[in-house]
Homo-oligomer: A and B are copies of this chain.
Amino acid sequence: MAASGVKALTFDVFGTVVDWRTSITREGAALGKRRSITGVDWARFADDWRAGYGPSMNRVRKGELPWMNIDALHRLILDGLLEKYKISRLDEAEKDAFNRAWHRLDPWPDSRRGLALLRKKFICATLSNGNVSLLVNMARHGGLTWDTVLSGETFKAYKPDAAVYRGAAEMLGVRTEETMMVAAHKNDLQGARKAGLKTAFVERPLEKGPGGGADIGRESWMDIYAKDFVDLANQLGVKG
């Protein structure tokens, strides 16, 4: 089996475990209605918010910004978007509450059940660039149970830095080759692979909305290619 010897699974979260786009769009629309903000395409707003994520982490990686957690980076991006979309009527408390919408993302329909199956056999931890408190609050919101929450914040570095993947394996007490990274994004899995981890790709075709161009398609270097978390559990020998 491709996954023989695997003892621990580490999970990307945004897009892989939870559906950020639907949740952020819904929270934006609700805020717009509450505060009579008109003319905003909230799905586009969500896409723009997410699009700012990678570049803002790059600024931290390059040292242009000091270490900041994702809550702080989300807020930097949000402040720029509120200007771009000419939304000026939100006070500080409202901006902070909207920024924390990222703590309340809903899981994909199979995530909770698949994760419960996988935990029967494997240590299951997050390994997200999202900060620990964001991931803890999201798990409580979505009824997800992790063995522990690991984050780029734990290692003060962002994926795909090898230090994050290797640090996670070490902290879970397993070797890198006994650890499998689970993600819906090829660049994350390639980073994990370079660090010595095994890789499982999970399809999330609607991550960026219908026709949004989700990262999809099997590659020869992937150890597992799964339709969802329950399929992943089955391929790893857990019946569900």
Chain A: residues with CB nearer than 8 A to chain B? 71, 123, 125, 131-137, 139-140, 145-149, 153-154, 171-174
Q: Decide: A172 and B132 in contact? CB cutoff 8 A.
A: yes
- Once A123-B136, A132-B172 are accepted as A-B contacts, the answer to whether A145 and B145 lie under 8 Å apart by CB is yes
Number of copies: 2
A148–B134 CA distance with the chains assembled, in angstroms: 12
Q: How far is the CA of A104 from the CA of B140 in the complex (A)?
A: 26
Q: Which of A132, A148, A173, A174 has most chain B Cβ within 10 Å?
A: A148
A125-B136, A136-B173 provided; 8 other pairs, C-beta below 8 A? A123-B136, A123-B137, A132-B173, A133-B174, A136-B172, A139-B147, A149-B149, A154-B154
- A145-B145, A147-B149 given as contacts; is B173 within 8 A of A137 (CB)? yes
**Contact between B153 and A171, CB atoms less than 8 A apart:** yes
Instruction: Contact check, A172 vs B123: say whether CB atoms are below 8 A apart.
Output: no
**How far is B154's CA from A203's CA once the two chains are assembled, in angstroms?**
32
**In the complex, chain B residues whose CB is within 8 Å of the CB of A145:** 145
- Complex Cα gap A217–B146 (Å): 36
| CA of A145 to CA of B131, assembled, Å | 20
> Bound state CA distance, A134 and B172, in angstroms?
8
A136 proximity list for chain B (CB < 8 A) = 123, 125, 147-148, 172-173
CB-defined A-B contacts under 8 Å, sample of 19: A71-B173, A123-B137, A123-B140, A131-B171, A131-B173, A132-B172, A133-B172, A133-B173, A133-B174, A134-B173, A136-B148, A136-B172, A139-B147, A140-B147, A145-B145, A146-B148, A148-B148, A149-B149, A154-B154
CB distance from A72 to the nearest CB of B (A): 12
Contacts of A140 in B (CB 8 A): 123, 147
